[in-house]
Amino acid sequence: MAKLKVGILISGRGSNMAALIEAARSPDYPAEIAIVVSNVASAAGLKTAQGAGVATAVVPHKEYPDRESFDRVVSAELEKHGVGLVALAGFMRIQSAWFPTHWKDRIINIHPSLLPAFPGLRVQQQAIDAGARISGCTVHFVTPELDSGPTIAQAAVPVLADDTADTLAARILRQEHRLYPLVVRWFAEGRLSVSGTQVAVAGVPRGATLLFSPAP
């Protein structure tokens, strides 16, 4: 059976991109990374992808008059490589409504909080400032509303009394690198189905939690 072709969008170092590339090295992994696209030519993740033999492309957003014009060029690049799933991995661009609508139920993102808590930026500091005792990461389908698409799975970590934004971010990132490849596997295996705001995973009992709670 042909493997699912995944396109990854990055703006920086692409650590989640690297985790997906590493997962795809396994012969039994049902997806392959077909293309990595960045809006930043100097993004460190591009060299990582190239070193792993993955095709890359740069689409500088400043060269386009509006978000949708840029998004359409990115989309064409993905489609040129036969992409069936788009994975955002530190892609620091707010997309036009056209992009997630065009890729509906075929675009996912990983966010470093337990959504719907702490959307947007500086989320680790948001969690600390709010006195949260638990934080984590969320993989969700992307919709036109920022950080609001249907949740697929989450991983929780404790917020420790002496945490800084950096120490909390590092603890969450370790779980991001575990969770994102798992969700891409589920998608590639055809196990995800979306109904409104709810996502079901075939093989997981109805009502079972998809909150992973590893040791700190």
| pTM score of the predicted model | 0.94
Pick the CATH number of 1-103 from 3.40.50.720, 3.40.50.170, 3.40.50.280, 3.40.50.300: 3.40.50.170
Hey, do 1-103 and 109-216 end up sharing a CATH topology, with the first three levels equal? yes
| CATH code at 109-216 | 3.40.50.170
Question: Max Cα separation, the chain?
Answer: 49
Q: What is the pLDDT of residues 79-112, one digit of tens each?
A: 999 999 999 999 999 999 999 999 999 999 999 9
H/E/C letters for each residue in 55-102?
A: CEEECCHHHCCCHHHHHHHHHHHHHHCCCCEEEECCCCCCCCCHHHHH
Q: Report how far apart, in Å, the C-alpha atoms of 71 and of each of 20, 34, 97, 202 are.
A: 23, 18, 10, 32
44-55: pLDDT as tens digits: 999 999 999 999
Where do the domains of the chain lie?
1-103, 109-216
The yes-or-no answer on residue 177 being catalytic is: no
Of the residues 61, 111, 140, 177, only one is catalytic, namely 111
Give percent of the chain above pLDDT 90.
92
